[in-house]
A and B are shown apart, each in its own frame.
Chain A
Amino acid sequence: MQQEALQQGTIDTSYREAVRQAIRDAIMRDERVFLMGEDVGRYGGCYAVSKGLLAEFGPERIRDTPLSESGFTGAGIGAAMAGLRPIVELMTVNFSLLALDQILNTAATVRHMSGNQFGVPLVIRMATGAGRQLAAQHSHSLEGWYAHIPGIKVLAPATLEDARGMLWTALQDPDPVLIFENVMLYNITGNLAADAGPVNIDKAAVRRPGRDVSLITYGGSLWKTLEAATALAAEGIEAEVIDLRSLRPLDDATIMTSVTKTRRAVIIDEGWRSGSLAAEVAMRIVEQAFWELDAPIGRVCSEEVPIPYPRHLENAAIPQAPKIIAAAKAALGRA
């Protein structure tokens, strides 16, 4: 794939830049698309994703909003129902709680409540995750909560390709799509095909093939999991790494194909363990692939504490490569 990209030309870019280009591309391609949220205009976005876009596209397309998540999310829902294609930026998942009523009670239910007379083709982007020492109130990973809700789709782009490509596909969806961008990913850099474009949003991806154990993850934990897989390979354990990409709906087929091959699964999820997305994935494996299993399914989740502020405690509270390695070995009986 890399060679192919080289032939077609690649650019050195960052995750942040890839998201920005995705927004630019959407605004230029479709006149119904606009971005709105707190500080997305003059300030350029809390994570500098929309820097320069106000100057390029003007205040009609890049709209600063008051500090009222419920209000502007509701405005986005209304605009979508009326025919526009809004991208609402909720800054972080922590503040999305103030818009939860709009997302859960309105966006997710309108098609059902209106007897299919209205849909909400809305995209809501937000940052998620811990790791930046933002303390207990600003370090949540609640994408698993949102994945609980019928009527919406939930995406977790972890790579440059997905940061660049998921937005356009999400905007084509007739129903609300939530995109969760892990805060630790904005600064990752790499090569992206110069002509990178839309990608599917309904398939999980095998990021590293292996035969001994399936490590199933998404978002910010993908890179820690790949690091763990490299370390495991040095000890002769070939781990297969699955990037879920879409948390709702889940791509059961890719998960079950992998687990059927490796017969062992460990799920890595930055959410808290109890009632986590990891629990859902594990239960689906039990429902659909029980007879293929060789070991209890393992989970590496966040510790069940408010995320601490001190760096060493924050690091200890969320999934890290050594825990993933230990869980993979336990699944192989090599603890």
Chain B
Amino acid sequence: MVDFRMPSLGADMEAGTLVEWLVKPGDWVKRGDIVAVVETQKGAIEIETFETGQVEGILVELNSKVPVGTPLARIRTEGEAKAAPVAALSPAAAPVISPPAPAAAPPAIPPAPAPVAPPPSPAVAPAAPARTRISPAARRLAEARSVDPATVTGSGPGGAITYADVARRAAEPTPSSERKRAPTLDLDAMRTAIAAAMARSKREIPHYYLAHQVDVTACEHWLSQKNAALPPDNRLLIGALTLKATALAAHSFPAFNGFYRDNKYEPSEAVHVGVAIAIRGGGLAAPALHDADQLSLDDLMSRMRDLVQRTRAGRIRSSEISDSTITVTSLGERGVETLYGIIYPPQVAIVGFGKVLVRPWVVDGAIGPRSVITITLSADHRVSDGHAGALFLTEIGKLLQEPDKL
């Protein structure tokens, strides 16, 4: 029996609101199935399960906001489900699943008579939900600003709500009670989340910045040839090439692909590239494109299209929110020459692509018009140095010289 818990969809997420169940007790689920929709500051996120088994019980009601880690449902895993058919879930007496006991095994602890006085064991957490821990300063501020502590998640010792947590909550717009709970994008909440993540990044991460101009004329020629034979919906954009080149380079340069957590850098074997996607009205999200270094360009392009469409509709999957190991941000045709990104913690690098511009460029001793793109790197100086960053950027540039090999 395993608990399906409220996942952490990014370092800055503290709680989420359960807005939709896509399964009901008795349903069979397999790893990767979308079982619920959770609304966070980043919008509505479809939550996948890591387990294969049978849903035994739903533990959280619709529209309740619960902290990260709270069990949402109980899933009887495959093996267990076969061993014991569905039993009604009773919170008072959780069924004990045990392997076939040897004959001589002593019985489980016999039911003891209820003790008259409560046992003096404060160390044992009671089954009832723990009371909200809120500091005296936070409690006073919550009263003054009419903030319900139940709607605040704590960042203090032991998860206690602090003064700053209440102040932050008080500064957020109050959700109206009539608010539509269907998947939507709350741009104000998203802005708050962006503010928190970016402020944390600039506060904690010593960024360094590098820029590199690369001739991408070869990419443009290759794309126009390839796209000539394709229907408009399947055509490749240069963004697919730059994304793939970045993913391949990230695989070769582990110092830019991973997470910096608890004063320690953990490089990632897999390359999940976060794709920065602008949202109309002023939002921004960077969901992960999983294993971007392994995908063919056609697959990559269709995955990018799907990701952009779903992100703008406010339906991102949980794994897409928290898995990115590096981020790519491109301004595209309406952009400018150069952009310097801010790293999304706990990642350690963000690669920026400016607008492709036609520039006078020296090729084989002669000046001619070439398509040039400026690639930038913002990287975490705790993990890598400018020398390694330069090699990494140069590698992306080299890969873009041979688009047919991407």
Contacts and interface: CB of A to CB of B under 8 A. Distances in A.
Interface of A: 236, 263, 290-296, 330-333, 335
A236 B204 contact: yes
Interface of B: 135-140, 155-160, 162-164, 203-204
B163 A294 contact: yes
Contact of B136 (A290, A332, A335): A290
Contact of A296 (B157, B159, B163, B164): B157
A292 B136 contact: yes
Contacts of B140: 291
Contacts of B156: 294-295, 332-333
A314 to B, nearest CB: 29
User: What secondary structure prevails in chain B residues at the interface with A?
Assistant: helix
16 contacts: A236-B204, A263-B162, A292-B137, A293-B135, A294-B136, A294-B137, A294-B156, A294-B160, A294-B163, A295-B156, A295-B157, A296-B157, A330-B157, A332-B156, A333-B155, A333-B160
A322 to B, nearest CB: 14
A263 B158 contact: no
A333 B160 CA distance: 8
A263 B137 contact: yes
A324 B162 CA distance: 21
B204 A294 contact: no
A236 B139 CA distance: 26
Contacts of B164: 294
A295 B204 contact: no
B157 A333 contact: yes
Given A292-B137, A331-B157, A333-B157, 15 more contacts: A263-B135, A263-B137, A291-B136, A291-B137, A291-B140, A294-B136, A294-B156, A294-B162, A294-B163, A294-B164, A295-B160, A296-B157, A330-B157, A332-B156, A333-B162
5 closest A-B pairs (Cβ-Cβ)? A294-B135, A333-B156, A333-B157, A294-B162, A293-B136
Nearest to B165: A294
A333 B163 CA distance: 13
Contact of A335 (B138, B157, B204): B157
Nearest to A263: B137
Contacts of B155: 333
B203 A295 contact: no
Contacts of A294: 135-138, 156, 160, 162-164
Contacts of B162: 263, 294-295, 333
B79 to A, nearest CB: 38
Give the most central of A296, A330, A331: most B CB within 10 Å: A296
Contacts of B159: 333
A180 B275 CA distance: 63
A135 to B, nearest CB: 37
Nearest to B154: A333
A293 B137 contact: yes
B4 to A, nearest CB: 27
Central interface residue in A290, A294, A296, A332, by most chain B CB within 10 Å: A294
A292 B157 CA distance: 16
Contacts of B158: 333
B82 to A, nearest CB: 43
A295 to B, nearest CB: 5
A333 B138 CA distance: 15
Contacts of A263: 135, 137, 162-163
B260 to A, nearest CB: 14
A72 to B, nearest CB: 50
B203 to A, nearest CB: 6
A263 B159 CA distance: 16
B2 to A, nearest CB: 29
Contacts of A236: 203-204
A332 B164 CA distance: 11
Among B135, B159, B203, the one with the most A-chain Cβ atoms within 10 Å of its Cβ is B135
A293 B134 CA distance: 10
A143 B158 CA distance: 34
A291 B137 CA distance: 5
B350 to A, nearest CB: 21
B212 to A, nearest CB: 31
Contacts of A291: 136-137, 139-140
A331 B158 CA distance: 10
Nearest to A290: B136
- Most A-side CB within 10 Å, residue of B136, B139, B157, B162: B157
A27 B205 CA distance: 58
A212 to B, nearest CB: 10
A292 B163 CA distance: 9
B135 to A, nearest CB: 4
B342 to A, nearest CB: 17
